Amino acid sequence: MPQRKPDPTPATTAAGPSKSVLAGLRGPIVLVGAGKMGGALLDGWLRLGLDPRKIVVLEPQPSPEMAAQAISGLRLNPDPAGLKPQAVVLAVKPQVAPAALPALQGLAASGAVMISIMAGKTLGFLEQVFGPGTAAVRAMPNTPAAIGRGMTVAVANAAVSEAGRALAQDLLGATGKVDWVDDEALIDAVTAVSGSGPAYVFLLAESLARAGMAAGLPPALAEKIARETVAGAGELLFRSPQDAATLRRNVTSPGGTTAAALDVLMAQDGLDPLMEKAIAAATRRSRELAG
Ligand SMILES: NC(=O)C1=CN([C@@H]2O[C@H](COP(=O)(O)OP(=O)(O)OC[C@H]3O[C@@H](n4cnc5c(N)ncnc54)[C@H](O)[C@@H]3O)[C@@H](O)[C@H]2O)C=CC1
Ligand SMILES: O=C(O)[C@@H]1CCC=N1
């Protein structure tokens, strides 16, 4: 099968250096919150070969695996006073940010790039918490980051230097693809589409399995074929040079079974208006989380 060409990057800006800047770090990278997303980023940095001695993790409930990383020199929950990080990655829930982050103001004092992956939290919020002139990046990753197949979209404020942006690119790019946008307002819709998007795909697998059961399949078989179908179709989409619509048409024989199902899914009241409503709801929620 022909392989897909490398992504063109229309509507995005510099993709960062080909050589990792993580090799020549002056100060540590501080990760604040090492849950599902922070943990995936941390794993990505370690996979990339970032020296664990250059990583500081602030996490009140570290997993046993993370505590074990301390053996290799990673610093877990040291006193943040006196740390002079080169970058700080903020991966706590947006709801805890207003209470948790002001205590960490000192981390920004030495000119660190403050990289937030928090849904809804704006560059303005980061500048308010960490002070005017703070170099801030707002990024939105997604959970396929855990297997190095994440999609992140990021925006930087004017205080972020070329070097700061390159560092953010490498830290975020450790878990997959990164696109940069200049308009921060796009990030709420990005959050709705790719940040939350994996959940919609998993729901599709659940829904397909339930529909299979309703059509008489034993539950275990319905779950297996739904899972394999979603995973296989995703992999085909990933590897193929063809777009999603072409791959869909390749399945669809005129007058066949797929056409019968797509008549329902692509009807006026089918998937498109439902998805549009769902994305609008998530976009709205991202804007609400700013406050
Ligand atoms: N889960 C997802 O699919 C995505 C999540 N995000 C964003 O990533 C952030 C983290 O989300 P998850 O990893 O899903 O949540 P999570 O609940 O798995 O991780 C949050 C972590 O923050 C820790 N924490 C709480 N208070 C803290 C404090 N004061 N200092 C340091 N750590 C503290 C918690 O113990 C927890 O381990 C959120 O802001 C979310 O909006 C962004 C993209 C995708
Ligand atoms: O549901 C949320 O708020 C986070 C942001 C994107 C994915 N999970």
Is 50 exceeded by the pLDDT of residue 11? no
For residue 196, which ligand has an atom nearest its CA? Answer: 2
DSSP string, 110-170: T--EEEE--TT--HHHHHHHH-TT--EEEEE--GGGGGT-EEEEEEE-TT--HHHHHHHHH
Closest residue by CA, ligand 1 atom 14:
36
CA-289 nearest atom, ligand 1: 41
Do 130 and 249 fall into the same domain?
A: no
What's the mean pLDDT in 275-288? Answer: 98
Asked if the structure places residue 13 within a domain, the reply is no
Whole-model pTM? 0.94
Dist. CA 199–CA 48, nearest whole Å: 27
pLDDT digits (tens, 9 = 90+) for 25-72: 989 999 999 999 999 999 999 999 999 999 999 999 998 888 887 778
The CATH number of the domain holding residue 222 is 1.10.3730.10
Residue 285: the pLDDT is 98
Statement to judge: residues 60 and 166 lie in one domain: yes
pLDDT digits (tens, 9 = 90+) for 122-162: 999 999 999 999 999 999 999 999 999 999 999 999 999 99
Instruction: Please indicate, yes or no, if residue 85 is contained in any of the structural domains.
Output: yes
Choose among 92, 99, 145: nearest CA to 119: 92
Domain end call among 192, 225, 255: 192
Nearest bound ligand to the CA of residue 100: 1
Number of domains comprising the chain = 2
Q: Are residues 131 and 263 in the same domain?
A: no
Indicate whether residue 117 lines ligand 1 (CB < 6 A): yes
- Span 62-91, mean pLDDT? 91
pLDDT (0 to 100) of residue 219: 98
Which residues on adjacent β-strands are paired with residue 179? Answer: 153
More confident residue, 208 or 63: 208
Q: What is the strand order of the sheet 29-32 is part of?
A: 75-76, 55-58, 29-32, 87-90, 113-116, 136-140, 150-156, 176-180
Residue 5 confidence (pLDDT): 65
Q: State ipTM.
A: 0.99
Residue 115 sits in which domain range? 21-192
User: Do residues 43 and 135 both lie within one domain?
Assistant: yes
